[in-house]
Homo-oligomer: A and B are copies of this chain.
Amino acid sequence: MKLYTYFRSSAAFRARIALNYKGLAYEPALVSLAKNEHHESAYRRINPQGLLPALVDDGHRLIQSLAIMEYLEERYPEPPLLPKDPFDRAYVRALSDIVACEIHPLNNPRTLKHVRKSYGVDEPGINAWYRHWIAEGFGMLEGFLRSEARSGTYCLGDTVTMADCCLVPQVFNAKRYECDLGPFPTAMRIFDACMKLAAFDAAQPSKQPDAT
């Protein structure tokens, strides 16, 4: 199995956690977003969208981190990253989607670049944009976690799920931009618990071979 990854890509980070958690060994293929390698033809042949991550398994190319995690879950079901109960599964996927659809797209590099270019926004302005979406998105996440009251050590009770694989990389991003995470104690409690696990710890940006 080969994972096209970049240490700071939070979508790749989700996939790294899922692979580690399931004990699946993979060969990392490093694609530097900083050096624009995702736009070069070598990577475009793998993923024409130029987005990370991409996974190659059994000769098949897979893209989009949520789809990759669902694939891993179906193909390599143990240990599971989704519960059995249909309502629990919907809850875990909803949490994952809050991160993947309501937070991350608004703050990924291509969005920041477009905001910077279109409106002549400087670094403090970009930080303000970033923090706005973290505050709003984590507000949704925290509100949902509290209203459902199904979290335990992790997002769903005491078992790791796909939702934790999405939550943790987003917290890393928020910390990098020095966002105030004080108002989100449930999310942060879960983050701290996850980071005690080897699967999460080993997947973090600073422990990747391309970390700078």
- A residues touching B (Cβ–Cβ < 8 Å)? 48-49, 51, 60, 62-64, 66-68, 70-71, 74-75, 86-87, 89-91, 93-94, 96-98, 100-102, 104-106, 110-111, 114, 118-119, 121, 128-129, 132, 136, 140, 143-144, 147
Contact = CB atoms under 8 A, between A and B. Distances in A.
Contacts of A129: 118
A111 B101 contact: no
B90 A71 contact: yes
B94 A63 contact: yes
A198 to B, nearest CB: 26
Contact of A119 (B74, B106, B119): B119
Contacts of A144: 48-49, 63
Given A66-B66, A71-B86, A101-B104, 18 more contacts: A48-B140, A48-B147, A49-B102, A49-B140, A49-B143, A51-B140, A64-B97, A66-B97, A67-B90, A67-B93, A71-B89, A97-B100, A101-B101, A101-B105, A105-B105, A106-B106, A114-B132, A119-B121
A132 B74 CA distance: 36
A45 to B, nearest CB: 9
Nearest to A129: B118
Contacts of A110: 136
